[in-house]
């Protein structure tokens, strides 16, 4: 009987120790509420457009044998989009190569004779000039042959094809129209009340709503020198960095322009918990955990979030709200018992 009592007491002691450890606020990872200088931003609607949109035109005359792309196709830079019949150009290149071969043989022969002083030095100059002329003909023939193959000048999307196989084309005939996905920009309208600050600070970012608010720093901006007389806004073009950012021409985004600086309380976004319409954090104060409602502002690019009300500088918030919530329930249950 005494053995059973000792086992029961041991089990109770172990359970008490486990609960005590699990509900120890000191075990929580915390972050201090800090006050920092952050950028003031004016956020407006914007639309993505391609910087480069052009029509590829023919550089030769001839009949088209293949059109290898269609509307809405994606093409990589250097990919073949149109082929011309190249029989004449290939024959001209072969003839030029043959003449160049003869000129090379004659040059080597004359060079040998000149070195042996069997012919005048002027013969060497003539042979050298003939060789250079033949090589130039080869280069020109190669260039004419290359013009029968039309390649994409940049990676992008085909918007329109102007020709079909079997048609004839001359230099300047439009072949394919496309837009580039390598260079994109956002077009936004900025109020006259903020344009002076935007010009002065010249800093912006593009917020992509479809990617959980991901933002991309603008590379540079082109600001219209005049306002629209109806809307009284200035058009601003913001170039995105090279590369794919999950946006395409025509998409809706947000443009954030820096207009100044201000002091704000900041905490890591991971510390914030949302319950229905309540936004809150778990404040850790010594051995106490308190669930406190707060009012928040913007989420900054470094995953910090502005606190507009509900916290003071220097307070500690739990970085794992789920674990903090479990601890708070255990502590309340312990007090209730």
Per-residue pLDDT tens over the stretch 13-61: 333 333 444 467 778 888 888 988 888 888 999 999 988 888 999 999 9
Task: Please report the pLDDT score of residue 141 as a whole number.
Answer: 93
Residue 1, pLDDT score: 44
What's the rounded Cα separation, in Å, for the pair 330 and 327? 5
Tens of pLDDT, residues 61-116: 999 999 999 999 999 889 999 999 999 999 999 999 999 999 999 999 999 888 88
Q: Is 202 a residue whose pLDDT tops 50?
A: yes
CB 202 within 8 A of CB 222: no
Helices and strands in the chain, H and E counts: 5, 22
CA–CA gap between residue 131 and residue 134 (Å, rounded) = 5
pLDDT of residue 97: 94
**Per residue in 190-206, is it b (16+ CB within 10 Å) or e — as a string?**
beeebbebbeeeeebbb
Strand pairing category for 34-50 and 295-299? unpaired
- Which of 8-17, 33-42, 284-293 bottoms out in mean pLDDT, i.e. has the lowest? 8-17
For tokens 């918030």, the residue is 317
Residue 20: predicted pLDDT: 41
**Stretch 265-279: mean pLDDT, rounded?**
88
pLDDT category of residue 337 using cuts at 50, 70 and 90: low
Query: Among candidates 248, 60, 81, which has minimal Cα distance to 161?
Result: 81
Sheet containing strand 149-151, edge to edge, reads: 149-151, 80-84, 62-67, 168-169
Neighbours of 48 (CB within 10 A): 20
- Is pLDDT at 302 greater than 80 in this prediction? no
Measured between alpha carbons, how far is 152 from 200 in angstroms, rounded to an integer?
39
Angle made by CA atoms 261, 206, 194, in degrees to the nearest 5: 45
Collect all residues with Cβ–Cβ distance below 8 Å to 183 and sequence separation of at least 6.
Answer: 50, 51, 52, 154, 239, 240, 242
Continuous H helices in the chain: 2-22, 87-115, 121-146, 195-201, 321-336
Concatenate the DSSP letters of all residues of 239-263 into one string.
Answer: EPPSS--S--TT-EEEEEEEEEEEE
What is the DSSP track for 124-152? HHHHHHHHHHHHHHHHHHHHHHHTTEEE-
């Amino acid at each position: 009987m005494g053995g059973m009592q000792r086992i029961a007491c041991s089990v109770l002691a172990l359970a008490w120790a486990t609960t005590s450890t699990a509900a120890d606020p000191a075990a929580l990872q915390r972050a201090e509420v800090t006050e920092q200088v952050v950028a003031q931003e004016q956020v407006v609607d914007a639309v993505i457009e391609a910087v480069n949109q052009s029509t590829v035109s023919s550089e030769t005359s001839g009949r088209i044998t293949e059109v290898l792309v269609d509307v809405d196709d994606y093409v990589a830079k250097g990919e073949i989009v149109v082929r011309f019949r190249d029989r004449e150009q290939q024959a001209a290149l072969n003839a030029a190569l043959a003449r160049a071969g003869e000129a090379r043989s004659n040059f080597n022969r004359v060079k040998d004779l000149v070195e042996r002083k069997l012919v005048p030095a002027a013969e060497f100059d003539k042979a050298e000039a003939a060789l250079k002329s033949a090589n130039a003909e080869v280069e020109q023939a190669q260039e004419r042959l290359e013009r029968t193959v039309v390649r994409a000048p940049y990676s992008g999307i085909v918007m329109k094809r102007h020709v079909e196989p079997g048609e004839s084309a001359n230099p300047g005939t439009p072949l394919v129209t496309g837009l580039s996905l390598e260079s994109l920009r956002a077009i936004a309208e900025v109020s006259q009340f903020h344009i002076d600050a935007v010009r002065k600070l010249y800093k912006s970012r593009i917020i992509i709503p479809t990617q959980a608010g991901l933002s991309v720093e603008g590379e540079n901006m082109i600001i219209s020198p005049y306002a629209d007389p109806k809307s009284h806004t200035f058009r601003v073009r913001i170039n995105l960095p090279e590369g794919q950012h999950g946006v395409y021409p025509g998409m809706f985004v947000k443009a954030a322009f820096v207009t100044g600086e201000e002091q704000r309380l900041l905490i890591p976004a991971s510390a914030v918990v949302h319950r229905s319409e309540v936004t809150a954090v778990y404040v850790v104060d010594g051995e106490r955990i308190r669930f406190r409602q707060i009012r928040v502002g913007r989420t900054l690019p470094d995953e910090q979030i502005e606190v507009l009300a509900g916290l003071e500088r220097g307070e500690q918030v739990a970085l794992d709200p789920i674990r903090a919530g479990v601890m708070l329930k255990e502590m309340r249950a312990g007090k209730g018992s």
